[in-house]
Amino acid sequence: MAVLLSTKAAAVGDWEAALTALDPALVLHRHPFAGDPSEIEAVVMWTGHDLADLRRYPNLRLVVSMGAGVDHLLKPPGPPPGVPVARLVDTRLTQAMSEWVLLNVLRFHRQDPEYRAQQAARIWHELPAPDTARRRIGILGLGALGADAARKLVALGFPVSGWSRRPKAIEGVATYAGQDLAIMLRQTDILVCLLPLTPATAGLINKDLLWSLPRGAYLLNAARGAHMSAPCVLRALDRGQLAGAALDVFDPEPLPADSPFWTHPKVVLTPHAASVTIPSSVAPQVIENLRRARSGESLLNLVDPATGY
């Protein structure tokens, strides 16, 4: 039996090395696979894989996302019925995302765009000192990534609140669930989106949400581009409702060359690089899930198709 790897050509070698370092007997194939489809028992995949292809493998018992997100795997037609999907939860993935969040919270909190503009114009002028204790951070999504970012922001002294689907308790964080989002938004100076993309969260960052924030708030989105309405974000930036945005994700990706986000003076962007999976770090959970799938045990980081994450 074999595992099919499906990702960018530049990354597939690292996946092969990481998995065979742990299990030298593991048989790996690269997508597209021209051999006997009945050989494939698991597919470990990233975006760009035609989901109809998964139906070619009669002995498929596991599909693993190469990232934390699984929206690429659950969109129609989805995985074959009855085949479980696992995602990645990994300390290095989480750490890297928190770094991206802290970088951009501090960028806006410490008035870095304003100071860079002053430097370019050779202006020696001290702006009003930022007050960490008064800069309220609101995090959409308190899962593996959101909860870690929240804890690190609390450690820096920011007032932090967060929103999840179900009620949650995180020390030092004011938590909101479900319909209470509006309360959190009114008290958020920097909004950070770390939600999974699901039917319930797609398009959440729209006109209503953006104009519920205090005027001059900032937006950080490292979740998925389809969480936000690009025209609404651009309008909020142009009208001063948003003072700035740090964006790592877009819909579509790559961001088209004529997108206004590229040159918007209030936008800093990165090319979906906030947190990139390190195959050697996640290989143990993939190997363990393969073992569990073979023995019929419950999987690590199993995705619930009903909620979409």
159, 136 contact by CB (below 8 A):
yes
Enumerate residues 260-299 that contact ligand OXD by CB under 6 A: 277
Torsion 95-100-101-103 (CA) sign: positive
Question: Rounded distance, CA 282 to CA 15, Å?
Answer: 9
The answer to whether the beta carbons of residues 40 and 58 sit under 8 Å apart is no
Residue 146's binding partner out of ligand OXD, ligand NDP, none, with CB under 5 to 8 Å set by partner kind: ligand NDP
In the complex, minimum distance from the CB of residue 67 to ligand OXD, in angstroms, rounded to a whole number: 2
Q: Does 225 help bind ligand NDP (rule: CB under 6 A)? A: no
Q: Which stretch binds ligand NDP (CB under 6 A): 38-46, 119-127, 128-136, 139-147?
A: 139-147
Determine which one of 49, 109, 136, 272 is catalytic. 272
Rounded alpha-carbon distances, angstroms, from residue 86 to 49, 65, 82, 157, 179: 16, 6, 13, 35, 29
222 counts as binding ligand NDP under rule CB under 6 A = yes
69 is a site residue for ligand OXD (CB under 6 A):
yes
Q: Which of 49, 136, 224, 227 does the annotation list as catalytic? A: 224
Select the binding partner of residue 248 from ligand NDP, ligand OXD, none (C-beta < 5 to 8 A, by kind). Answer: ligand NDP
Is residue 72 annotated as a catalytic residue, yes or no?
no
Strand pairing report for 217-221 and 62-65: unpaired
Q: Is 87 a catalytic residue?
A: no
| Of 146, 103, 148, 153, residue with least CA distance to 132 | 153
| Distance of alpha carbon 209 from alpha carbon 74, whole angstroms | 26
The single residue among 3, 68, 147, 243 that binds ligand OXD, judged by CB under 6 A, is 68
Paired with 162 in beta bridges are 139, 175
Residues interacting with ligand OXD, by CB under 6 A? 67-69, 277
Residues interacting with ligand NDP, by CB under 6 A? 67-69, 89, 97, 141-146, 163-166, 168, 194-198, 200-201, 222-224, 248-249, 272, 274-275, 309
